[in-house]
Amino acid sequence: MNCFKTFISFATAAATACMASLMFVSCEDDFRDDSLFIPEGIGTISLQMEFTPMSEGLTGSRAAESNAKGDALNGIVDMCVLFYDKGGNLLDDYIYYYNKEQAQKPVDLPDSHFFYGVDRFKDVPRDPSDASNGKLAQDKSMSGRFDVIKIPYGQYYIVGVANLGNAKSDKYSEATTTYHELFVDAERKEAVKTIDGLRGLRLEWDASCLANNAEMFGCFTTDQTSREASSFFSGADLPSVVVNRDGMQLKSWLRRAASKLTIAFDGSDLRDNIWIHLKSAAIKDIPAGCDLGRKSCVTKTDSLLSRPAEEHQVGQYLDYTRGLPAADGGKYNTGWYTIVKGRKFPSKDNGSLAEDDENLRDPHTPDELSLFFYENMQGLGKDKRQYPELDGDGNPTGAVKDDDILKDDKPCGTYVEVKAFYRSRDGVVSNGDITYRFMLGKNVIDDYNAERNYHYKLTLHFNGKANDYDWHIDYNEEPGIKVPIPYYYVPYMYNQSMVYPVTIIGELEGDLEAEIIRSDWGPSTLDNPGEIVAGLEYYSDTAKVVGNGPWHGFLSLRMAPLEPGTDRGRKASVGKVSGIAKEYKYNQSLSDGQYNGIPYNKAYWIGEGDPSLNEKVNHRGHRFYNVTKTPVSGRSDNANDDFANDGAYEVSTTTVNGVKHTTFHIPLYSREINLIKTAGYRGNNPYMGYYRYAEIKFTATVDGKKQSIVAKVLQVPRIVNPKGIYRSWNCTDPFNVHLMRLDSEDDVDGMSYVPVISTGGPWSAEIEYITDGGGWLSVGGKTAKGDRIEGYTDSEIQFDVKFLSKCANKEAVRCAIIKVLYHNYTCTHRIMVRQGYAPVAMATGSNTKWHTCNLQYAIKNGDGSFLGHEYEYPRGEGSMFKCGNLLEAIASVNNKRDARYKSYPDGQSAYYLAPYDLSPDKADKPMAKWEDIKSDIPAVFKGVTLDVNGKTCRVPKYEDFENLRKECDFGAGVLYGDGATQTQTDVVKACGYATYLDMSERQSYGMRGWFVYNVGKDGLNLFFPIGVSGNGHRKDGSRKSGMNHIYEPGNARGVLRYAARAARMPDGAGNFAEYRPLLYTMYTQFGATYWVSGDGEEVGTTSGTTAWDINYTTFDFNTYSNDATALFGDSDAAFIRLVED
């Protein structure tokens, strides 16, 4: 496997080479043009210094202010020009010096030999011809000029030396200048007397101050090119120049002694489920020194710079941690710069390490953060590429050929080292520190020359699992149990399954044991999982919760049982036992030999069940797994196996580098929709802005040692936007899905949804169910059922949904369900799609058809019959009605508020009745006081029919709703309809489809509500809105003895609030909140009630149900008993959805 693609190119970075032109003006007639003729006299010359731009030295890839900008060595601090005679001896009278500061003039230097000022050198544009190898890596470099230098005609060696001085640092106790280093320092003063001595001056790398490593050298000639200048360092002698005429211009391309390296990372060809959390990059084994004017090659390892790895010197170390400490046991942090499939770094989207520049596209720009080093010319050598070692049959052994050869047999070579933390869930779970090393040179095959003044551009291009052969890689896994880290994400939805991988590295002895030791019902954050959430109103004192434990949580190691009376999905409520009409209440205990409520929840979890029913189930949170997949039986703790009802697991075994890897793919399950209905415990996450946290303890004996590891699991927040896309029968408007989430539970005006990021792995979208044989809908261009579109890890989830044709007619209905999998396909979000609003029969074996829109008002005909008028679109919430009264419809315009979600005002003095004319000049809008709107509670709509478009309709009975509850599945979220073509991010627009707004404004808005869908009917679905305010219920509010904790202040009536409560549920003597903590904030929760016809004597009714309860927040679709008509002195007001037989 070739894990890294290799592309390398070089650009000679004569980083800041200086050209110098010399002009001489002769004192006598110049009547000969022989270039070697030297007349007598003195002339003037000009010196042009061009500081060589860095040449591209390596382009391509191999499959805390410690960071240094790429232009750190570009400046010119000072410079000396020295003249040597043809014998190579220094001419003391012809020394010239430049410094930015006038005060830095040496005392013994004539004024005419000193140049100063910041404008002497300026940046000028460069082209490829200015680079020593024709490949430009720096688009600008310095250029300067010394004019009117007088010198006798003759033959000279003229050289320039720049930036030889030092700033004060850990290495140097005081600052010096180039002039000082050449002519004051005793040792160097003696060396520079000859040209050979100058060239051989030894430079010493200052690891404590990068600026002290910016030395430059060059010699002057006529018409010098950058390519020519680069050859001077390898020659035995420097070229001399004959000054024999006035006005000569001499040029020098000065070159840095140092080079630099930039590193980029490319995950385009990574496999999914691989994360590389970058920690650092460092340049290692750089020369401790080099010659100023000669090619330098380290020949002894003790001449390499030695420094402790923890000392992160500027210019030799790049920090990719963004200042974040390692978490998860000190291993890594997900906030570090991370490479996943499809991601490149640095890049515009993922940020650049260069400060204040988030828009860099080229990761090797001249000012990109860089690593610096002195020249180290190691020549050619063995092939650097890493090849797999093969056995006698030509098959890879898992080892690397010649891996025992240290540093590719170049012990004095310079190399780059990248450290990271590696995570893989690609078949085998693997986590650990990983180190990549690459020997520097001008290609990736056999060149080991780290030449001066080059910009080496290295891209680490990961292939496959990112741990294959092109780079030298250190990755040694410790034996033991490996689980996905830092978290494993499970879906917010109830009754979902996912596969959890566990890898045993080493010899497994016996079984792998799993135990859910924690599974929370309450909220958690991603940053502090399992800790109390600050700033959120909820029942946070878990110590008070009666019988608290994982049995109240969301996670199970086994499938849910079937619900009695159903033969499809496993969606049952806990406590529903086959053949027994028994409902467990929230606060009952052992009575008459039967468990009830909280005690039963625990008994069911640990596999005891209800003793009175001889109920027996396997432990929901304790299970054993073995390599032979033999079901466990006979355990007294009920951790036994029934693969058919509990779910089966898979096992695979591989050998990596001689070490056995056993991987278990263990099924996990989110729990039932209701654990105990009246307690509010749910398998579905009730939180839109928060996670829920669980821990699984895995125990095994590996290589003779028993060990355990605790795996962390997070149930993701609910995604509600979008949840549904509806179109009328002849509408084909497309829709752009962009999954959105909330950061809190408030859902108030002014909030915005934010995109869902699939951080846990790749994502996909597909048509899961579709009616009419499909072909009429496309998801991301895919029309076939099960044909996926896919997205990368850490990407947003966005795709187009297109309706490819109209329905045949107005009576036709087509439905589909789009399944989105994210976080490595472990989490599910479903989107309901429908085209056509005609009534549909949702339940198998029932001819009852459910209408698609809520009732708006009714008119009583002269013969006593009713004519019903429904709202024309499913997003409209319709009107509310008191029990038994169809003629006084409380119009939806009454629900209008300035801040729709921020307050729960008292009831109004009077209410507009439907039909309501929106025309502002309509003066006779009907109104009525709450107490004047009548109710007929004993009638409960029983036997009432309405004519709607020629069809005889009625209010649903209990059994109609119960058929939906037993056979269908549910979802909650935002519906978009005709005219809405994209996901809204503003809460007001996403949830604010108000019928009192003009159609031109509201058509792009969404409506929150409850979806019912039947997968047994290819995804047939239905929507129940909960209203613009999220409160689809008006409570009567009149007092009733013994219920004083229910009412609003001042006995307000008709208050628009989903809950009957007006404040938090109390705890203590009342035995409420400590038994039902998720209902503690019921008074702020969203939901709606819908009227049910009948007086409690209908088939299936056990408690006199008069209304149906939809709790949008805690996720319940269930009977409201008779609370809408019995809690207060009179009837509440609720929505009506009609059915027809």
Q: How confident is the model at residue 610 (pLDDT cuts 50, 70, 90)?
A: low
Q: Which amino acid is located at 749 in the chain?
A: D
> DSSP 3-state assignment of 1050?
helix
Does the N-terminal peptide bond of residue 346 adopt cis geometry, omega within 30 degrees of 0? yes
Q: How confident is the model at residue 1064 (pLDDT cuts 50, 70, 90)?
A: confident
Q: What is the DSSP letter of 598?
A: H
pTM for this predicted structure: 0.81
Distance in angstroms (rounded) separating the CA atoms of residues 210 and 167: 10
Above 80 in pLDDT, residue 460?
A: yes
- Domains of the chain, by residue range, sit at 13-54+75-256, 260-481, 482-715, 724-835, 839-1141
pLDDT for the residue numbered 318? 86
Share of the chain above pLDDT 90, in %: 46
pLDDT for the residue numbered 842? 96
Average pLDDT over residues 707-735: 97
DSSP letters of 15-61?
A: TT----------SS------TT---SSEEEEEEEEEEPPPEEEE-SB
Is 634 exposed, middle or buried, given 0-12, 13-18 or 19+ CB atoms closer than 10 A?
exposed
Q: Are 609 and 1055 in contact (CB under 8 A)?
A: no
Average pLDDT over residues 197-208: 92
Distance in angstroms (rounded) separating the CA atoms of residues 605 and 684: 17
Distance in angstroms (rounded) separating the CA atoms of residues 41 and 26: 7
Question: Angle at CA 788, nearest 5°, toward 785 and 789?
Answer: 135
Residues 724-835, CATH architecture: Sandwich (2.60)
Distance in angstroms (rounded) separating the CA atoms of residues 1125 and 936: 10
Beta strands in 271-324 (DSSP E): 274-284, 289-291, 317-319
Q: Quick one: which of 974, 417, 927, 489 has its CA closest to 685? A: 489
Distance in angstroms (rounded) separating the CA atoms of residues 1066 and 1070: 7
Q: Which amino acid is located at 6 in the chain?
A: T
Q: Are 793 and 341 in contact (CB under 8 A)?
A: yes
Does the N-terminal peptide bond of residue 501 adopt cis geometry, omega within 30 degrees of 0? no
Give the Å distances, CA to CA, from 521 to 56, 183, 574, 1064, 1137: 59, 78, 15, 18, 33
Q: How confident is the model at residue 711 (pLDDT cuts 50, 70, 90)?
A: very high
Best-predicted range by mean pLDDT (114-128, 625-639, 1101-1115): 625-639
Average pLDDT over residues 61-65: 38
pLDDT for the residue numbered 463? 80
Q: Quick one: which of 882, 884, 848 has its CA closest to 866? A: 884
Contacts of 349 (CB under 8 A, 6+ apart): none
Q: How confident is the model at residue 292 (pLDDT cuts 50, 70, 90)?
A: very high
Above 50 in pLDDT, residue 394?
A: no
pLDDT for the residue numbered 231? 82
Which tens digits make up the pLDDT trace of 208-247? Answer: 888 899 999 999 998 888 778 778 888 888 999 999 989 8
Distance in angstroms (rounded) separating the CA atoms of residues 869 and 857: 5
Neighbour count for residue 312 (Cβ, 10 Å)? 17
Q: How confident is the model at residue 97 (pLDDT cuts 50, 70, 90)?
A: very high
Q: Which two tokens stand for residue 126?
A: 């460069």
> DSSP 3-state assignment of 1105?
coil
Above 80 in pLDDT, residue 81?
A: yes
Q: What is the DSSP letter of 1000?
A: H
Give the Å distances, CA to CA, from 560 to 613, 618, 674, 677: 18, 11, 11, 16
Q: Which residue has the higher pLDDT, 715 or 465?
A: 715
Q: Which residue has the higher pLDDT, 167 or 899?
A: 167
Question: Angle at CA 20, nearest 5°, toward 16 and 23?
Answer: 170
pLDDT for the residue numbered 127? 74
Q: Quick one: which of 410, 519, 46, 510 has its CA closest to 252? A: 46
Q: How confident is the model at residue 1008 (pLDDT cuts 50, 70, 90)?
A: very high
pLDDT for the residue numbered 446? 82
Best-predicted range by mean pLDDT (230-234, 477-481, 576-580, 582-586): 477-481
Point out which residues pair with 946 in neighbouring strands: 866, 953
Q: Which residue has the higher pLDDT, 370 or 708?
A: 708
3-state DSSP of 923-986 = CCCCEECHHHCCCCCCCCCCCCEEEECCEEEECCEHHHHHHHHHHCEEEEEEEECCCCCECCCE
Point out which residues pair with 44 in neighbouring strands: 150
Distance in angstroms (rounded) separating the CA atoms of residues 70 and 493: 50
Give the Å distances, CA to CA, from 604 to 600, 616, 624, 645: 6, 8, 19, 15
Q: How confident is the model at residue 1099 (pLDDT cuts 50, 70, 90)?
A: very low
Above 50 in pLDDT, residue 1140?
A: yes
Question: Angle at CA 1128, nearest 5°, toward 1125 and 1133?
Answer: 50
Q: Quick one: which of 682, 775, 668, 706 has its CA closest to 1078? A: 682
Distance in angstroms (rounded) separating the CA atoms of residues 67 and 317: 6
Point out which residues pair with 18 in neighbouring strands: none
Is 701 exposed, middle or buried, given 0-12, 13-18 or 19+ CB atoms closer than 10 A?
middle
Longest dimension (CA), the chain: 134
Q: Which amino acid is located at 580 in the chain?
A: I
Q: How confident is the model at residue 140 (pLDDT cuts 50, 70, 90)?
A: confident
Give the Å distances, CA to CA, from 785 to 278, 382, 671, 762, 774: 39, 54, 27, 20, 7
Give the Å distances, CA to CA, from 267 to 315, 318, 339, 423: 25, 19, 6, 14
- Sheet arrangement for strand 724-727: 789-791, 763-770, 814-822, 827-835, 724-727, 969-976, 1006-1014, 1020-1025
Q: Which residue has the higher pLDDT, 731 or 1068?
A: 731
Q: How many CA atoms lie within 13 A of 1002 on its CB side?
A: 15
Average pLDDT over residues 34-38: 69
Question: Angle at CA 256, nearest 5°, toward 253 and 260?
Answer: 130
Q: Are 1111 and 970 in contact (CB under 8 A)?
A: no
Q: Quick one: which of 704, 689, 696 has its CA closest to 667? A: 696
Distance in angstroms (rounded) separating the CA atoms of residues 873 and 977: 8
Average pLDDT over residues 1051-1079: 81
Q: Which two tokens stand for residue 722?
A: 């979008």
Residue-averaged pLDDT of the chain: 83
Distance in angstroms (rounded) separating the CA atoms of residues 872 and 856: 9
Alpha-helical runs (H) found in 494-535: none
**Start-to-end C-alpha separation, the chain:** 65
Which tens digits make up the pLDDT trace of 415-427? Answer: 889 999 998 887 7
3-state helix, strand, coil split of the chain in percent (to 5) is 10, 35, 55
Point out which residues pair with 1013 in neighbouring strands: 969, 1021
pLDDT for the residue numbered 611? 62
Above 90 in pLDDT, residue 1069?
A: no
Q: Are 215 and 292 in contact (CB under 8 A)?
A: yes
State the sign of the Cα–Cα–Cα–Cα dihedral 718, 720, 724, 725.
negative
Distance in angstroms (rounded) separating the CA atoms of residues 895 and 898: 10
